[in-house]
């Protein structure tokens, strides 16, 4: 394998750049490129393709290997209406479970879906949608680019949903019923057609759901039993972040993109572990110089462990 070069800028290329096999967690990497026309790839530590799926739709955001070895896929549904600028990039809506042989064994459609979706251990699907905010509430939304609402002055708000294998709605959480818009103002660089732009919805421990609210720079935890917000990480901790997940010790792992970070002259990205109760960053990864590791729009981070699902185990 290529030797591991510790200098980030020299590693900017495509394909396998470097690998330290002894220190790696091993296993496989799954990726579903948005520009690959529905091709999904599973590669090993050497960068070699070990499996390939070809789906009829490009991904809305991502794909995942399920515990039974099947592929959970979030496809970009062609019939989803263009709610506002950027919607065609953000939305998915065509969910499917696909065997390694390409057989579709489950499908579900929600044309209002955007960004993230999670296949839960019980077989249910957790995801986000956008719905028009009530007019009175929409008038209270602060910040953003003046006059940039959707057609007719509409602002779309986020809803977290969970459906079972029959497609029955078993849980729903509407952002405008639980968040005060005055506490979650849009950054000045964002259009006003979408609030608070939930780019990730992740199951946590003890019945929590963790939401990443990108356009207001916040991460919150919601108690599913009561719909109450349990804690919030605000703009003093995160900056237009993605991909929060709860670790075994209760810390929250976050890909912190770094756009509009207060009191920072050089934008840069980092991965952080935060204690949500003390609001302290307990661990972080960043590069030096900071701009060597910077992605303004997307990104993700996962804590790895030596296990793999279903037929893909070594």
**Which tokens sit at 252?**
């929250």
Of all residues in the chain, the percent with pLDDT exceeding 70 is 95
What's the predicted TM-score (pTM) here? 0.92
* C-alpha–C-alpha distance, residues 234 and 222, integer Å: 15
Residue matched to tokens 């070895």: 69
**What confidence tens digit (pLDDT) does each residue in 204-250 have?**
999 999 999 999 999 999 999 999 999 999 999 999 999 999 999 99
Euclidean distance between the first and the last CA atom of the chain, given in angstroms as a whole number: 19
Q: Could you give the CA distance from residue 211 to residue 197 in angstroms, rounded to a whole number?
A: 10
Dump pLDDT digits (tens) for 28-70. 999 998 888 999 999 999 999 999 999 999 998 779 999 999 9
Rounded CA-CA distance 118/61 in Å is 11
| Structural domains of the chain sorted by starting position, each given as residue range(s) with its CATH number in brackets | 8-312 (2.40.128.630)
Q: What is the radius of gyration, based on Cα positions, of the chain? A: 20
């Amino acid at each position: 394998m290529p030797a591991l070069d510790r200098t980030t800028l020299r590693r900017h290329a495509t394909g396998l750049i470097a690998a330290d096999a002894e220190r790696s967690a091993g296993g496989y990497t799954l990726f579903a490129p948005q520009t690959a026309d529905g091709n999904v790839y599973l590669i090993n530590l050497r960068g070699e393709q070990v499996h390939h799926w070809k789906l009829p739709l490009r991904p809305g955001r991502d794909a995942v290997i399920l515990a039974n070895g099947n592929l959970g896929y979030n496809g970009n549904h062609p019939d989803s209406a263009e709610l506002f600028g950027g919607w065609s990039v953000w939305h998915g809506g065509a969910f499917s479970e696909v065997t390694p042989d390409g057989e579709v064994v489950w499908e579900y459609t929600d044309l209002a879906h955007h960004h993230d979706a999670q296949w839960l251990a019980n077989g249910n699907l957790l995801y986000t949608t956008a719905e028009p905010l009530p007019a009175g509430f929409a008038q209270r939304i602060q910040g953003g680019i003046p006059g940039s609402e959707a057609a007719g002055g509409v602002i779309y708000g986020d809803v977290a949903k969970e459906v079972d294998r029959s497609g029955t709605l078993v849980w729903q959480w509407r952002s405008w019923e639980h968040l005060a818009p005055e506490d979650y103002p849009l950054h000045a660089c964002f259009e006003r057609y979408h609030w608070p732009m939930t780019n990730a919805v992740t199951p946590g421990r003890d019945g929590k759901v963790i939401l990443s609210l990108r356009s207001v720079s916040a991460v919150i935890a919601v108690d599913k039993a009561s719909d109450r917000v349990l804690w919030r990480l605000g703009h003093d901790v995160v900056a237009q972040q993605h991909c929060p997940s709860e670790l075994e010790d209760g810390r929250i792992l976050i890909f912190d993109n770094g756009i509009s970070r207060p009191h920072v002259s050089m934008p840069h990205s980092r991965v952080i572990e935060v204690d949500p109760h003390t609001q302290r960053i307990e661990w972080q990864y960043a590069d030096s110089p900071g701009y060597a590791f910077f992605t303004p729009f997307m990104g993700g981070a996962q804590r790895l462990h030596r296990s793999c699902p279903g037929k893909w185990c070594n």
